[in-house]
Structure 1
Amino acid sequence: MSDEAQLPRAARVFVSFVALLRANGFAVAPEQTTAFLAAIELLGPKSLDHIRQAGLATLAPPPERHATFHRLFDLHFIRHEHLTIEGAEDEEIVLLQEEGRGDEELLVADDINESGLTATRAEALVERRFAPAAAGNVLRRLSREASSRLPRSRGYRHRRSRRGPWADLRHTLRASVRNDGEILHLARLKRRTRLRRMLLLIDVSGSMKSGTDENMRLAHALVQATLNTEVFTFGTRLTRVTRALRLKRREQALNAAAHLVSDWDGGTRIGDALQAFLAVPRFAGYARGAAVVVISDGLERGDPANLRDAAAKLSRRAWRLSWLTPLATSPGFVPQTEALVAVAPFVDDMVEGGSSAAVVSHLLSLGSRKAA
């Protein structure tokens, strides 16, 4: 019988956390594991924060690896149902379930995907740094033309118009007073238009690593150009980064997003990510009536049926669903990968997304469609 099987059931989750730390390069002595368990018994614990503080005090991770320690802690403990977090409904990071029975350990990739050309289902915890870069002409064009060329929708308020479908009785009667009660002209009203919500779902997995920096800078420019924009990243988990990208300075915003997202350049589970997005009512509401843009190569390692079902649901909620992939290098692109073939019946556009210029051109072209 193994040592872990002899442990009390309540202690196994804490011992397995120590094993996870060792597997990721942390030096933890057996005496520190014993002290960790003793500290937890002493504290109660009443919350996950107590467990986190006990781990920091007894397992003593080096200061330069505190960020990795916290990510491993979240990865390990948040997935256990009997450990709850206060305000869990406000979490903006959704862990995706691995394929299988659901009781296996979450995978952590041992190898780094240098080429960025293959897809994997393993989860890699990576801290990304965005190098400073000047805003290019493409991003300046997006900032300059977004308010006039992004898609719009009809609002509920009205404004005066020469050929509106409704009569403006108030203005008409006021004008008649100046003409001794005679109505010489019937003023008209029409609905105001407003910028339609934009929803960006950005693939940050290993197969998209060559374009991640450009896509995140573009997302920041779009959020700054219109406040009615939501941005999510997905790989092995789904992360809402809108709040971070609302910071005005681009370097500061990208660094904030880098600390939120921990699955940079990792695995690819597009179907699970979209299903997780739709499963959270607050997130799914962002897609209703929105112009939804998915930036992904479609190199899926999960079940295509799962992805097909998610794309169908997303298409029904969205005003328009666009899939931008770097594989679409020509106007007559025909999807070849299993994932892109699965979603093709439900997307309105499947066009090139391999560069910022291509993405911006598509975003600005959406405004030429009539508001619905």
Structure 2
Amino acid sequence: MSELTKLPRAARAFVSFVALLRANGFAIAPEQTTAFLAAIGLLGPRAPEDIRKAGLATLAPPPERRATYDRLFRIHFLGGEELRDDESEDDEVVRLQEEGRGDDEPPLADQANESGAMAVRAEALAERRLMPGGTDDALRRLAREAERRLPRRRGHRRMRARRGPWADLRRTLREAARNDGEVMRLGRLKRRERPRKMLLLIDVSGSMKARSEDNLRLAHTLVQAAPNIEVFTFGTRLTRVTRALRLKRREQALAAVAHLVSDWDGGTRIGDALQAFLAVPRFSSYARGAAVAILSDGLERGDLAALRDAVAKLSRRAWHLSWLTPLAAGPGFVPQTEALIAVSRFVDDMVDGGSSAAVVAHVLSLGQKGRAA
């Protein structure tokens, strides 16, 4: 059960509005959320304008972002239907979708990117049916080798070892007591190894249409094979799909993902989506010390400065940051697009992401990059 569903039904819309603000870069402390809910209770609001003013008083959006606050308020509480004639919906807003809230979104796109041949900026909401497909050799290899080849880290607990930096005095003294007080061998300890966190950020925009389904099948196999895996999709929105991918049967998991994600085959705003990810503390914590893989062609249509800043921050949080793009299919790949050139100095690897076999090979190789570091 998610944290949102544990709340009283009447409070969920207000708490999810705060999450939406955080996802779009508003700094809001937990105490402000509590004050916002208390203000709603005191006002007993009779109109949406009362709620908007309560948010202005307690959540304190900066004056220069007041217009964005108002747009997000209308999107969340009014469905975006009450924009003034001289305004259009803010293209800079990347909406956050929590799992379990996909049914609140419009089901069909007004404009669909049928071919997926080019990257666009505009948002297009669409449903998509994901087929389970067969289990190819690459996915079978991932399921078979993930446990022993995925990256690991040294834990804080210690375990017995033939060789190690610490003396196991308890075991040494116990054995000495059985040998009339004579120490025959000094026991040693070393730190346990634990699976390292992994984070997959999967591009589902129109330009990645040919790879989206295969990447999600791979993500399902990875989630089933190892713990500590988090998966998000992004295009013009950021959607956490980890819980859906934990369903054991692939057809059920992919059907749940298809229901959750509403920005299939739409615009490409990678920087805004990553900024939204970093703006939510709970989400950004998934990247800390993790092996992070971004599966995207990097055909960005948004602000390059936002993309560069987001990837730089993600790189500082991550243990290892990989960018897997179908454009890197050949040997000696050199980034050519503006977005990939902008982020290349912040990523540890920029490698081929054009096939499941290539992605699996790279993911399994991560365990050798500073194993147990």
SS of 1:341's partner is helix
What is the CA deviation profile of residues 61-89 of structure 1, one whole-angstrom value per residue up to 9, with x for unaligned ones?
xxxxxxxxxxxxxxxx993269669xxxx
Could you tell me how far 1:111 is from its partner in structure 2? Answer: 3.4
Residue 237 of structure 1 contacts residue 273 of structure 1 at CA under 8 Å; is this kept in 2?
yes
Aligned with residue 99 of structure 1, among 82, 92, 96: 92
Aligned to 2:339: 339
Residue equivalent to 2:372: 371
Larger Rg: 1
Alpha carbons of structure 1 residues 329 and 262: separation in structure 2 relative to 1, 3 Å: same
How far 1:99 sits from its partner (Å)?
A: 3.5
| 2:241 is equivalent to residue 248 of structure 1 | no
Matched, 1:295 2:288: no
In the alignment, the residues of structure 1 paired with residue 181 and residue 71 of structure 2 have an alpha-carbon distance, to the nearest angstrom, of: 72
SS at 2:294 equivalent: strand
Give identity over the alignment, percent: 70
CA deviations 1:86-136 (Å, max 9, x no partner) are xxxxxxxxxx96239xxxxx9x96432222121111111111111231211
**Separation in structure 2 between the aligned mates of residue 296 and residue 97 of structure 1, nearest angstrom:** 24
Change (3 A) 1:261 1:46: farther
Go from structure 1 to structure 2 and tell me whether the alpha carbon gap of 1:82 and 1:217 turns closer, same or farther (over 3 Å shift).
closer
Q: Is the 8 A contact 1:151 1:368 kept in 2?
A: yes
Q: Give the Cα–Cα distance (whole angstroms) in 2 for the partners of residues 162 and 150 of structure 1.
A: 24
Q: TM-score, normalised by structure 1?
A: 0.73
Change in CA separation of 1:116 and 1:224 when aligned onto 2, cut-off 3 Å: same
- Take 1:148 and 1:189, find their aligned partners in 2: how far apart are those partners? 22
Unaligned regions of 5+ residues in structure 2, if any? 1-44, 49-69, 79-88, 94-105
Matches within 5 A, 1:186-201: 186-201=186-201
Larger RCO of the pair (alpha carbons < 8 Å, separation 6+): 2
Q: Which amino acid aligns with 1:98?
A: D
Q: In structure 2, what is the equivalent of residue 166 of structure 1? A: 166
> What are the Cα deviations for residues 252-282 of structure 1, in whole angstroms up to 9, with x where unaligned?
0010011110001000000001100000000
SS of the residue corresponding to residue 154 of structure 2 reads: strand
Distance 1:78 1:215 in 2: 33
Query: Structure 1 84/159 Cα, relative in aligned 2: closer, same or farther at 3 Å?
Result: farther
CA distance in structure 1 between the partners assigned to 2:76 and 2:298 by the alignment: 35
In the alignment, is the contact (CA less than 8 A) between 1:202 and 1:234 conserved in 2? yes
Per the TM alignment, residue 227 of structure 1 is displaced from its structure 2 partner at its CA by 2.0
2:319 is matched with which residue? 319
Distance 2:218 2:281 in 1: 26
Contact 1:271 1:307 in 2 (8 A): yes
Q: Which residue of 2 aligns with 1:280?
A: 280
With over 3 angstroms needed to count, the CA separation of the structure-2 counterparts of 1:157 and 1:182, relative to structure 1, is same
**Could you tell me how far apart the structure 1 residues matched to 2:177 and 2:90 are?**
69
Q: Secondary structure at the match of 1:220?
A: helix
Deviations 1:284-334 (A, max 9, x none): 000000000000000000111110110100000000000000000123100
Say whether the 8 Å CA contact 2:109–2:126 is kept in structure 1.
no
Secondary structure of 1:180's match? Answer: coil
User: Aligned to 1:80, which of 69, 73, 96?
Assistant: 73
Superposed structure 1 runs of 4+ greater than 3 Å apart:
44-47, 81-85, 108-111
TM-score by length of 2: 0.73
Contact 1:271 1:306 in 2 (8 A): yes
Contact 1:109/1:122, CA 8 A, preserved across alignment: no
**1:3-62: CA deviations, max 9, x gaps?**
xxxxxxxxxxxxxxxxxxxxxxxxxxxxxxxxxxxxxxxxx8799xxxxxxxxxxxxxxx
